[in-house]
Amino acid sequence: MESYITISSLNDFIFCPKSIYYHGLYNTFSKEIFQQKPQIDGNYAHKTIDEKNYSTKKSILQSIDIYSEKYGICGKIDVFDSVTGKLTERKKNIIKIYDGYIFQVYAQCLCLIEMGFIVNEIVIHDLSKNKNYLIPLPSVDMEMFLKFEETIYKMKHYSIEEPLVNINPEKCKKCIYSNLCDQSLC
């Protein structure tokens, strides 16, 4: 049986493919041991969604499990309005819309579509600025959609023994897994 890629790992893979492996090692420990302020803030930002306290409207789906057989991905959505077709991903503080953010909402969108929902709009919401960033649907931005599919392919075929290319020492310095990784010696 083929294992599914978690939607949350898409951004991590782009940041550093090895981080997914190290995340798995840390999974057995209490999050307080290894998480830093950005991860803690992000968890807190999702609290109302995770507890399904964002809305009481029946048309607002919160923190539901989703999957795509076609792409071999699974995860959760933050908020989806099943009447308007608006998918919203909430982030604590957005400095830049990274490809990984877009790939996460593309994955959510494609899962919802495969599950029979109609997605008309994708938004990434910055909680700190109360600002929405409209993301073109995968069917509209073919270049980004192809990059998404390429990333899924790379994730399915990645080996931890592969040497990392295009290493950014600044990213390594900020990585919560740097004490485990030989790449952080750069």
Residue 135 backbone zone (phi > 0: left; psi -120 to 50: alpha; other: beta):
beta
37-56 pLDDT tens trace = 655 555 555 565 555 656 66
Give 5 or 161, the one with higher predicted confidence. 5
Contacts of 13 (CB under 8 A, 6+ apart): 19, 20, 100, 151, 154, 155, 158
Q: Taking Cα atoms as reference points, which of 142, 103, 143, 138 lies closest to residue 121? A: 138
Domain limits of the chain?
A: 5-185
Looking at 36-182, which runs of residues are DSSP E strands? 60-62, 65-68, 73-76, 79-81, 86-91, 121-126, 131-135
Q: Helix (H) and strand (E) counts for the chain?
A: 8, 8
Whether the pLDDT of residue 63 is over 60: the answer is yes
Residue 20 is classified by DSSP as H
Q: How far apart are CA 104 and CA 89, in angstroms?
A: 9
Whether the pLDDT of residue 171 is over 90: the answer is no
Tell me if residue 58 falls in helix, strand or coil: coil
Cβ–Cβ under 8 Å, residues 112 and 87: yes
Tell me, what's the pLDDT at 1?
46
19-39 pLDDT tens trace = 777 766 666 666 555 555 655
Other beta carbons less than 10 A from residue 145's beta carbon = 18
Q: How far apart are CA 177 and CA 125, in angstroms?
A: 27
pTM: 0.81
Type and span of the H or E element at 5: strand 5-6
Q: How far apart are CA 103 and CA 97, in angstroms?
A: 11
In CATH, the architecture of 5-185 is: Alpha-Beta Complex (3.90)
Cβ–Cβ under 8 Å, residues 87 and 138: no
121-150 pLDDT tens trace = 999 999 999 999 999 999 999 999 999 999
